[in-house]
Chain A
Amino acid sequence: MRDIRPSWGRRLIALLLVGFAAAYMVPLAIVVLNSVRSVEDIIQTSTIGWPRALVLSNFTEAWGHYCIAEVCTGIRPYLWNSLAITVPGTLMSTLLGAVAGYAISLWRFRGDAWIFGLVTLGVFLPEQMKLLPWAIVLRDVGLSNTLTGLVMIHTIQGLSFSTLFCRNYYVAIPQDLIKAARIDGAGFFRTFWRIVLPLSPPILIVTVIWQFTGIYNEFLYGVTFTNGTQQPITAALISLTANVANVPQYGVQSAAVLIAAAPTLLVYLLGGRWFVRGLTAGAVK
């Protein structure tokens, strides 16, 4: 349209953006660099610095040997705990949310608007309002301090978001499509399977990424309802870095932090587009 050569204004814009990008990368760069530095190195210079020597043993230490609240198993069992909570929680809340969203938007039933309103209120309700009731419910059903208990909580609560996401996506499907299927004699499940599900991959990916990130990163329920070896990784990480008994092992801790951040970072890098879509969809509604 205009002059192709970059003007001074455009150079300034590019410079500003690069500056911001560099600043945003600092915390990640710090963790990556410190994860291969020795404690002495870090304490002598600071947490901001280039490794003098590569200390890869930080990772083996963090993964399998480091002591968290006096249990010297490293971060590994807690990562498994987190995945054992996150994967079933994500799958169940997404699947049930998709069916619920379909029922509310396309199948319709008496009271659907009401129940949808209540379910979406769950998006806003602070966790603090639910802590005590969940604690009592978990105790009464015998799931205190279990991974199953956390799966249950995340599945039920995750429904708020997944139902909202799916419902908002499904309302765009023409009602005539569903009516035609019904006239052909297709029931609730067959209509879902044959018509709605094939149209759903985009929203299912968004929901899965959203739920995975949310459940994996959740901290308050994890730290309140589990202890010891049943804790998810976020809760374990707090006890790990709060380990003030001797010289803090910043190198090992950085490795542990990096391992803890890896699953959601990977999901973000692989599915960034869908992640952003989830963020904006979850936010604007």
Chain B
Amino acid sequence: MIGSPTRNDRAPGGMLAWRVLRRLPELVVIWVPLLLCAGQVVVFTIWTTVVSFTPSTLMPVTGWVGMRNYTAMLASRNWHIAFDNLLIFGFGFVVLAIAVGLLLAVLLDQRIRGENVMRTIFLYPMAVSFVVTGTVWSWLLNPGIGVQKLVQGLGWSGFRFDWLVRPDMAIYTIIIAAVWQASGFAMALFTAGLRSVEPDLIKAAQIDGAGPWRTYLRVVLPTLWPIVIAVLVILLQFAIKAFDLVRALTDGGPGLSTQLPTLVVYDFMFQRGLLGRGSAAAVLMLLTLLAVLAPYGLWKHWQTRRAARA
């Protein structure tokens, strides 16, 4: 199986067995990890999908309930709130993180002193666990001990900043924390894009008499748009998968106000012991993810094919 067969491979019986045996270590090292990893992806996806069609509660059981778990999940208040929250959070987070990331990348691209220190500062949140950052943000945003308390203590006693405990505003605190954590990441990707702009392109624009601003707006930034789309897709993926941050910051509350699909899955599977429902929610989550990734994948595929033809 490994490598192209040489002539000796066609040697009869005993020789062949010997050759296979001698190559056993490499066969094991290549195939066992890869099969486990690929198998995990395929088998687990099918497994959870199958469970989503069964009446499983505390334990997975066989049986068939058709789409009942899905209809129940889609009709439930939890899923509605979670999905609406995902739309608000996803939109706010992605737009702001891209805007801030792009702004930082462009500002840093102006050959500022201390560029590397700045870059390190903007990106450090990505190295830290969401549990840590979520906890710290919950202290800052908690009206009793955070920013509100500080400002009130300074004398402005009417000051209110209590989004964390307000059901209608709590979801925006998650946007704040998530933008803080991920905008440096967007910056890093945009910086990579700005670095790869052809110097000739800029020179040509300058020879044509364009000033620095015009050159930047008309020549440099337009080359970034494929990266903007890539960052958009990656951040949307983040948003759909976000769990730790919400768990640490609001734990879905107050009430259900910051529920996200990821929390609904966990809640139904392991707290309510409704494995069938929880699995249906997980599959719905996967479908949401596919709705984002599939168009991007197709677009990339189309692009590479067009590039190959050109």
Contacts and interface: CB of A to CB of B under 8 A. Distances in A.
Contacts of A216: 129
Interface string B46-87: 011001000000001000000000000000000000000000
A179 to B, nearest CB: 10
Contacts of B23: 188
Interface stretch (B106-114, B164-172, B217-225): B106-114
Interface string A93-123: 0001101100100011110000100110110
Contact of B124 (A28, A34, A119, A234): A28
A136 B60 contact: yes
Contact of A188 (B26, B100, B149, B247): B26
Nearest to A34: B139
A124 B265 contact: no
A110 B1 contact: yes
Interface stretch (B7-15, B33-41, B90-98): B33-41
A262 to B, nearest CB: 10
Contacts of A53: none
Given A17-B107, A24-B122, A280 B139 contact: no
Question: Chain B interface residue count: which class?
Answer: 35 or more
Interface in B108-132: 108, 110, 112-113, 117-118, 120-132
B248 interface: yes
Contact of A13 (B38, B112, B130): B112
Contact of A103 (B30, B107, B110, B117): B30
Contacts of B247: 219, 238
Interface string A198-238: 00000000000000010011011000100000000010011
B89 interface: no
Give chain A's interface secondary structure class. helix
Contact of B123 (A17, A253, A257, A276): A276
A130 interface: yes
Contacts of A17: 104, 107-108, 112, 118
Contact of A276 (B37, B150, B188): B188
Given A125-B286, A132-B48, A156-B36, A238 B104 contact: no
A264 B132 CA distance: 11
Contact of A46 (B1, B131, B145, B231): B145
Contacts of A156: 33, 36-37, 40
B228 interface: no
Contacts of B126: 275, 279
Contact of A283 (B4, B51, B189, B265): B189
A234 B245 CA distance: 11
Given A13-B110, A46-B146, A133 B128 contact: no
Contacts of B240: 126
Contacts of B108: 17
In this complex, the member of B4, B38, B234 whose beta carbon has the largest number of chain A beta carbons within 10 angstroms is: B38
A129 B3 CA distance: 35
Contacts of A265: 124, 127-128
Nearest to B104: A20
B25 interface: yes
Interface in A141-174: 156-157, 159-160, 163
A276 B29 CA distance: 30
Interface stretch (B197-205, B275-283, B301-309): B275-283
Nearest to A10: B110
Interface string A246-285: 0000100100010011001101110010011001100110
Interface in A59-90: none
B209 interface: no
A257 to B, nearest CB: 5
B256 to A, nearest CB: 18
A187 interface: yes
Contacts of B42: 118
A133 B47 contact: yes
Nearest to A131: B269
B130 A133 contact: no
Contacts of B47: 132-133
Nearest to B292: A124
Contacts of A253: 135
A25 interface: yes
B20 interface: no
B273 to A, nearest CB: 12
B45 interface: yes
Contacts of A119: 34, 37-38, 41
A213 B127 CA distance: 7
Contacts of A261: 128-129, 132
Contact of A130 (B48, B51, B124, B127): B48
Given A118-B42, A279-B189, 9 more contacts: A20-B104, A47-B149, A115-B35, A126-B286, A129-B48, A130-B44, A132-B282, A188-B23, A264-B128
8 contacts: A24-B184, A27-B137, A46-B150, A47-B149, A118-B37, A124-B237, A126-B289, A241-B135
Interface of A: 10, 13-14, 16-17, 20-21, 23-28, 30-31, 34, 42-43, 45-49, 96-97, 99-100, 103, 107-110, 115, 118-119, 121-122, 124-134, 136, 156-157, 159-160, 163, 182, 187-189, 213, 216-217, 219-220, 224, 234, 237-238, 241, 250, 253, 257, 260-261, 264-265, 267-269, 272, 275-276, 279-280, 283-284
